[in-house]
């Protein structure tokens, strides 16, 4: 698989990474450990060298899973994890105090079975702790050899600039896809200016862009999509137009909707590295196949033109979670 550099950080990873959250958290019951390990190792066998986790996924169990899975080839991969919630539980609120960051790193190193974290993200900007203080703490951890690179997640342009001035930010992770293009307005220009890579999560619209979800789909009771306005039955019915557009384009190239959605992201900038997640080997193979799908300028323009006629319905987060975004 093609290798990409995240901005000008020197951190090089596979063009597509693997978002590991869904193996432990967010989309229903956790995957059996052996199945999760097998999927992560299958991703590595297919050229993936970038694995994304966080203390909040579980909490903690996803870091443990990733650590065990990549141990046989640890020095050949990049591990990214995140701090920023009280006790690793998002509903407990934010906590990016320096002592919390240091504690998380020491504990995460043990869970990940490693001596360094390749990319350490602040999961959400904490208004109670100056971003400069957060960046300074990570800078100290980098000097200590415990962390290699600093990242932010769902941060706004102002926070990115302030943090970057203290400790260079290697990557920003935020949602970005054919049905959530807000980063194009302010964030992407700042990243390009500062030489920061971009790691889109939910590049397949939390599964919706694959065409496998419709208005009649029933989610598990523990699936967080049950509370996402964009996944209400009404919104799914309205947003089917986008899936239909993708279907026409995909059929014309003899590929899948998911592959078109990922190839579109890869075509936006050479420093963009999407991290689709899955629990199924078949979907993993499909997603990784997108790395070899190239879109011409004419095809990209036709996609853009087609999408202009589609209005996506529904907020991407419920109101209580949206408050933590883009500070």
What single-letter DSSP state applies at residue 55?
T
Measured in degrees and rounded to the nearest 5, phi and psi for residue 275 equal -125, 70
Nearest alpha-carbon partner for 152 in 90, 195, 197, 85: 197
What single-letter DSSP state applies at residue 301?
H
Whole-angstrom distance, CA of residue 150 vs CA of residue 117: 10
Active site residue 57: yes
∠287-235-262 over CA atoms, to 5°? 15
**75 and 54 Cβ atoms separated by less than 8 Å:** no
Active-site hit among 57, 60, 121, 176: 57
CA–CA distance from 273 to each of 1, 13, 16, 287 (Å)?
12, 8, 6, 13
In DSSP terms, 50 is beta-bridged to 78
Nearest alpha-carbon partner for 203 in 125, 257, 249, 239: 257
Six-digit token pair at 310? 């589609």
Strand-by-strand arrangement of the 117-122 sheet: 18-19, 50-52, 78-83, 117-122, 147-153, 169-175, 197-201
**94 and 82 Cβ atoms separated by less than 8 Å:** no
Measured in degrees and rounded to the nearest 5, phi and psi for residue 105 equal -60, -45
Element (H, E) at 314: none
For 175, the 3-state DSSP assignment is strand
- Going 177 to 183 to 189 to 192, the CA torsion angle's sign is negative
Q: Which residues are catalytic?
A: 57
């Amino acid at each position: 698989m093609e290798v990409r550099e995240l901005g000008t950080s020197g951190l090089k990873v596979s063009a597509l990474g693997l978002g590991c959250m869904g193996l432990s958290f967010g989309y229903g019951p956790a995957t059996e450990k052996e199945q999760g390990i097998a999927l992560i190792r299958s991703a590595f066998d297919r050229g993936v060298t970038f694995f994304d986790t966080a203390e909040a996924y579980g909490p903690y169990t996803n870091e443990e899973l990733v650590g065990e899975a990549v141990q046989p080839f640890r020095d050949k991969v990049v591990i990214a994890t995140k701090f920023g919630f009280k006790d690793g539980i998002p509903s407990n609120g934010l906590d990016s105090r320096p002592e919390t960051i240091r504690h998380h790193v020491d504990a995460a190193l043990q869970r990940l079975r490693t001596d360094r974290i390749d990319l350490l993200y602040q999961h959400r900007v904490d208004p109670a702790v100056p971003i400069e203080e957060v960046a300074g703490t990570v800078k100290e951890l980098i000097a200590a050899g415990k962390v290699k690179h600093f990242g932010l997640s769902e941060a706004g342009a102002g926070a990115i600039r302030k943090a970057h001035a203290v400790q260079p930010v290697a990557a920003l992770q935020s949602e970005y896809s054919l049905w959530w293009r807000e980063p194009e307005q302010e964030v992407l220009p700042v990243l390009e200016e500062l030489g920061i890579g971009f790691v889109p999560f939910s590049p397949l619209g939390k599964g919706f862009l694959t065409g496998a979800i419709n208005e009649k789909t029933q989610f598990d009771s523990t699936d967080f999509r049950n509370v996402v306005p964009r996944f209400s039955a009404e919104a799914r019915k309205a947003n089917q137009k986008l899936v239909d557009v993708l279907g026409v384009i995909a059929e014309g190239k003899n590929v899948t909707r998911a592959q078109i959605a990922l190839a579109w992201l890869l075509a936006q900038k050479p420093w963009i590295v999407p991290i689709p997640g899955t629990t199924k080997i078949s979907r993993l193979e499909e997603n990784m196949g997108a790395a070899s799908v190239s879109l011409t300028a004419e095809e990209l323009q036709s996609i853009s033109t087609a999408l202009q006629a589609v209005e996506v319905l529904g907020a991407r987060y419920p109101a209580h979670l949206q408050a933590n975004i883009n500070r």
